[in-house]
Every structure is written in structure tokens, then in C-alpha cells.
């Protein structure tokens, strides 16, 4: 507990991250942001493949660091350990004995084949919570024909239907532009871990958590899937049939976005654009009717918007109590006074490149101590510290492990 009486929710929880790329690292970064001690385990010499990916940032001396890796690995300790070697497995198991959580996002079966899967580790530590993130899931009783497939975010966005929903009616499916399958799978794994920690307080036992990227994307596509379940209709790209106006609208210097989900807001929009009679027009007096008659309604909206800037249109619509926002790019967001008031871009000191601003995790809580955003670890930066403090290995033992290329 800090001097102000507030606690870090996960202080005292030790997490081993046997992780790569995005989903696993994002999960453990969320846990680290609430006070957990996260020990990221990487292969000696090469580390997480995310370290190779851009943008690669250089300092004045030419030292490099991956901005991609930085996005998902802040506030962690980093060690190198060859978990494919017998000695590396032995050390890993010793770490498991003194840890609460293991997070991994390798292909299903990799950890089992290596002799360090959940069934082995729970015998070593019955209180262990083991979270596995994979493309298509792996828990016994839920095996499907795709279980062994390799998956990346693009793949599950396609298969889960999100890409089908995005784009113009006569155009191809589109990726959402963010690694939603990875990020959300990390969030769901973190959610599962928190539930498992609460359950462990009641039962004294850990458990296995299975976070499937495909399942997670399907759950996010619930609107289209529910519409199909209830009506037999497949929602098409650019063919909204239930709500209008919805989406981006062009103005003089860019785009704004608005949605009119209910009739009271539709009436306010009509008043704002100087066409109050449209509120009760038989063609437009419900969301489905407006969607059906979009070709008649959109020119009216376009005519009102065409000579207005983003800011002007936003101010007029907000004054009329119509939900609206400017379509912003990264520069706009970094300069946004509200995002900055919410402290979304903390500055950290990241070796070796120096001071950088990062995107913080968004959750705010009144009764906990805020964990300040910190740097991502250099490859193997904390190996000696962890092996000394957690496993009580001597400097000579650590030197021997390094000589044998176990660390």
C-alpha cells in the first residue's frame, strides 16, 4: 500500500510471459499496469520477433529500438531463457513454483511437446493460473477442426466476419486497420486471469484459461450474427438496413461521423439542418425507412454539410444535441485537449532511445494507485536480477548458464 492509502490491485502477483508478438504481450502488459510483476521470457540471442518490426527508432548514437515492441511490453522485466533445452525447462519449472500466472500464445501443443504444458505445471504448482491464447482455441471438450491452424489477426478478422462488414457495397472486404483479434484476445485472457485469481481465493486452486482469437472476433461480430439468427438475413457492406444516418459524412475539409439511432435524435437533427418537416415525413420517420430511402435523404444532408468545415459542422450539431465527432487522424488525437486532459500520452524514458510518448491503457480507477507507464525491457535486461532474487542462483551459476547458452 502506498502512502496515500491506495493499493495496486495486482501487487504481489507474479506472471511469467512466455509470449511473442501481440496477444500474449498485450495481456501481460495489462497485468503489469495494475501492479503485477511480469517476467517476460525470450529466447537467448534473438528474443521476441516483435523486436524486429518497425518503426525502428534510432538515437543520436545510432542505437536502435523497435517501436512495435514498445507498444506491447512496457513495465515488464525481461529475461532470456532457452525453454527448448533441458536446463532451460528445469529453470522455467523452478520459476513456475514461485509464480501465480503463466501466459503463452504459441501454437497449441508447443508447450505440451516441450514438457512444460499446463498438465505438467499444475502438478508443480496447483495454484497456477495458466492462460493460453491461440488462433482457434485448445481446451479439451472444445476442440474444432481448425485447432492446429496458425492464425494472425488478419486471418481471424476475415473468418470471424468483421472484414465482410467493412467497406463499400460494391467493393472488397476490408481489414479494420487495427490488430483487434490480437488485442481483444489479450484483453479477454487478462479478464479470465482476474476471474481465476478471484476463484482461487475461494477454492485454493488454479486453472487453465483458453482464449481463442476466432471465438473473440465472433463475439465482437454479435450484431450481424444476431440479425442472421433472428431474421435469416446477412448484413452486407455499405448496406445498412436498420439505422440511418450513420457513418462518415464529407464536409469542406474532411469528414465528420454521426449516428441517429432513435427518433428523438432524428427530430433534433432535422431542426439543426433547418428541415423540421422531415421529422414526420413518412419516408423518414423510422430508422429502417431512412435506410431504405437513403438515396433521397443523403443529398439533403450533403447539401447542408458541403460548405462547412469539420469544426463548424461539429459545433452546430453538438449545439442541436446530435451525437457527432470529427474523423481524426493520429496527429489530431495527439493534439486533442480532451485526450491530453485524460492523460492518454504519458512520456517515458525508453533505453536506448530516450524520451518518447506512448499510448496509455485507458482504465481509470478511483481507489487504486496508478502504475506509471514505464519502459519495455532490453533483451535479457533482468536475467541476472530474476535468477538471483527469485531462484537464489549465485553469480557463478548464472555465468555457467550463460556459457552453456541456456540464458
**Burial class of residue 400 (count of CB atoms within 10 Å of its CB; 0-12, 13-18, 19+):** middle
- For the stretch 322-372, pLDDT in tens is 999 999 999 999 999 999 999 999 999 999 999 999 999 999 999 999 999
Strand partners, 133: 211
10 Å Cβ neighbour count for 213? 29
pLDDT of res. 240 = 81
pLDDT of res. 126 = 98
Phi, psi (deg, nearest 5) at residue 133: -110, 125
Q: HSE of 276 in the Cβ direction (CA atoms, 13 Å)?
A: 2
Report how far residue 215's alpha carbon sits from residue 165's, in angstroms, rounded to the nearest whole number.
17
Average pLDDT score over residue span 162-168: 92
Terminal-to-terminal C-alpha distance of the chain: 34
Q: pLDDT band for position 37 (50/70/90)?
A: very high
Catalytic residue among 48, 100, 153, 182: 182
Is position 182 annotated as part of the catalytic site?
Answer: yes
Residues 220/226/232/236 CA torsion (nearest 10 deg): -40
Contacts of 237 (CB under 8 A, 6+ apart): 164, 165, 166, 167, 168, 169, 171, 173
Q: pLDDT band for position 198 (50/70/90)?
A: very high
Contacts of 212 (CB under 8 A, 6+ apart): 134, 135, 136, 137, 138, 185
Cell numbers that stand for 76 in this block:
515488464
Q: Is the pLDDT of residue 401 over 90?
A: yes
Cell numbers that stand for 318 in this block:
453538438
Q: Is the pLDDT of residue 3 over 70?
A: no
Cell numbers that stand for 122 in this block:
499444475
Q: Where are the domains of the chain?
A: 14-221+345-403, 246-331
Report how far residue 87's alpha carbon sits from residue 91's, in angstroms, rounded to the nearest whole number.
6
- Domain 246-331 belongs to what architecture? 2-Layer Sandwich (3.30)
Phi, psi (deg, nearest 5) at residue 37: -85, 110
Report how far residue 341's alpha carbon sits from residue 325's, in angstroms, rounded to the nearest whole number.
18
pLDDT of res. 258 = 96
Q: Is the pLDDT of residue 2 over 70?
A: no
Strand ranges for 2-61 from DSSP E = 14-18, 37-42, 56-58
Is the distance from CB of 136 to CB of 214 less than 8 angstroms?
yes
Domain 14-221+345-403 superfamily per CATH: Crotonobetainyl-coa:carnitine coa-transferase; domain 1 (3.40.50.10540)
Instruction: Say yes or no: do domains 14-221+345-403 and 246-331 share a fold.
Output: no
Of residues 238, 224, 240, 249, the one with CA closest to residue 170: 238
> Using the 8-state DSSP alphabet, how is residue 243 labeled?
-
Report how far residue 310's alpha carbon sits from residue 17's, in angstroms, rounded to the nearest whole number.
44
Report how far residue 387's alpha carbon sits from residue 87's, in angstroms, rounded to the nearest whole number.
13
- For the stretch 226-273, pLDDT in tens is 999 999 999 888 878 889 999 999 999 999 999 999 999 999 999 999
- For the stretch 123-141, pLDDT in tens is 999 999 999 999 999 999 9
Percent pLDDT > 90 in the chain is 92
Q: Is the pLDDT of residue 4 over 80?
A: no
- Cα 4-386-96 angle, rounded to 5 deg: 95
Amino acid at each position: 500500500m502506498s502512502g496515500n492509502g491506495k493499493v495496486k490491485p495486482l501487487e504481489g502477483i507474479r506472471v511469467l510471459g512466455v509470449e511473442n508478438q501481440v496477444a500474449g504481450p498485450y495481456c501481460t502488459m495489462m497485468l503489469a499496469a495494475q501492479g503485477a510483476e511480469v517476467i517476460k521470457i525470450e529466447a537467448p540471442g534473438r528474443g521476441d520477433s516483435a523486436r524486429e518490426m518497425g518503426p525502428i527508432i534510432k538515437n543520436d548514437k545510432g542505437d536502435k529500438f523497435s517501436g512495435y515492441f514498445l507498444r506491447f511490453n512496457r513495465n515488464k522485466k525481461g529475461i532470456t531463457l532457452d525453454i527448448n533445452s533441458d536446463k532451460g525447462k528445469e529453470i522455467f519449472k523452478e520459476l513456475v513454483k514461485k509464480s501465480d500466472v503463466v501466459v503463452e500464445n504459441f501454437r497449441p501443443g508447443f508447450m505440451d511437446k516441450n514438457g512444460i504444458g499446463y498438465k505438467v505445471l499444475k502438478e508443480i504448482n496447483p495454484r497456477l493460473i495458466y492462460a493460453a491464447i491461440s488462433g482457434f482455441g485448445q481446451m479439451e471438450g472444445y476442440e474444432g477442426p481448425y485447432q492446429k491452424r496458425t492464425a494472425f489477426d488478419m486471418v481471424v478478422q476475415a473468418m470471424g466476419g468483421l472484414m465482410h462488414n467493412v467497406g463499400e457495397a460494391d467493393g472488397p472486404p476490408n481489414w479494420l486497420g487495427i490488430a483487434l483479434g490480437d488485442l481483444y484476445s489479450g484483453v479477454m485472457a487478462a479478464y479470465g486471469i482476474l476471474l481465476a485469481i478471484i476463484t482461487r481465493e475461494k477454492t485454493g486452486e488454479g486453472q487453465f484459461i483458453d482464449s481463442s482469437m476466432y471465438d473473440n472476433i465472433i463475439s465482437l461480430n454479435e450484431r450481424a450474427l444476431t440479425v442472421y439468427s433472428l431474421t435469416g438475413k446477412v448484413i452486407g457492406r455499405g448496406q445498412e438496413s436498420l439505422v440511418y444516418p450513420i457513418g462518415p459524412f464529407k464536409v469542406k475539409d474532411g469528414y465528420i461521423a454521426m449516428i441517429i439511432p432513435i427518433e428523438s435524435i432524428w427530430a433534433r437533427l432535422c431542426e439543426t439542418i433547418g428541415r423540421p418537416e422531415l421529422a414526420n415525413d413518412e419516408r423518414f420517420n423510422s430508422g429502417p425507412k431512412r435506410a431504405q430511402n437513403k438515396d433521397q435523404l443523403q443529398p439533403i444532408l450533403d447539401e447542408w454539410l458541403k460548405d462547412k468545415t469539420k469544426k463548424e459542422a461539429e459545433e452546430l450539431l453538438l449545439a442541436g444535441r446530435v451525437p457527432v465527432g470529427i474523423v481524426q487522424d493520429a496527429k489530431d488525437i495527439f493534439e486533442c485537449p480532451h485526450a491530453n486532459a485524460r492523460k492518454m500520452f504519458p512520456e517515458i524514458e525508453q533505453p536506448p532511445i530516450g524520451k518518447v510518448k506512448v499510448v496509455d491503457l485507458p482504465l481509470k480507477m478511483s481507489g487504486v494507485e496508478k502504475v506509471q507507464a514505464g519502459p519495455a525491457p532490453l533483451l535479457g535486461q533482468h536475467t541476472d536480477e530474476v535468477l538471483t532474487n527469485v531462484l537464489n542462483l549465485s553469480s557463478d551459476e548464472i555465468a555457467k548458464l550463460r556459457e552453456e547458452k541456456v540464458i
